[in-house]
Amino acid sequence: MKQCQDVISVHSRGQGLCEITSEIETVVKGSNVETGMCYLFLRHTSASLVIQENADPSARHDLEQYFLRIAPEGDPAYTHTMEGRDDMPAHLKTALTHTSEQIPIRNGRLGLGTWQGVYLFEHRYRPQTRELIVHVMGT
């Protein structure tokens, strides 16, 4: 069994979805694994990973708007407020999504569906540099 691990730095532009499928595919191709698993782990608590439609931008827009409604800024019940108005909502959004994903590898490529892409979901206003560990295992 082969294993490969790499860290990808992702530079977000602030709140929203940033597709990272091609960066992950580069690691998978470099691993020479034909059949196996790709494990992803985002090392942050105010950003997350989602597998989402990559064809129609309105799907991503609607998802972003939904999360703004369910984790609003300025809720008087928040006590974690020292890092800004977007900090506690960012933690809530991360708790409702994932910081890890696993995707099968088939024929040396991610086994995603036709309209699926992997996204970093940035929950903070300011641009950030996020670290994603990509671990590939297989034969």
Instruction: Write out pLDDT tens, residues 4-51.
Output: 999 999 999 999 999 999 999 999 999 999 999 999 999 999 999 999
Average pLDDT, integer, range 114-133: 97
- Say how far residue 21 (Cα) sits from the centre of its chain: 10
Measured distance CA(34)–CA(32) in Å, rounded: 6
pLDDT, position 99: 98
Express each pLDDT in 70-83 by its tens digit: 999 999 999 998 89
CA angle 106, 55, 62 (to 5 degrees): 120
Strand ranges in the chain using DSSP code E only, listed in sequence order: 2-11, 16-19, 36-42, 47-53, 100-106, 109-110, 116-122, 129-138
Smallest Cα–Cα separation from 36: which of 134, 102, 106, 101? 106
Measured CA to CA, the distance from residue 128 to residue 122 in angstroms comes to 8
Domains and CATH numbers, the chain: 2-138 (2.60.120.460)
Q: Classify residue 83 by its DSSP letter.
A: T
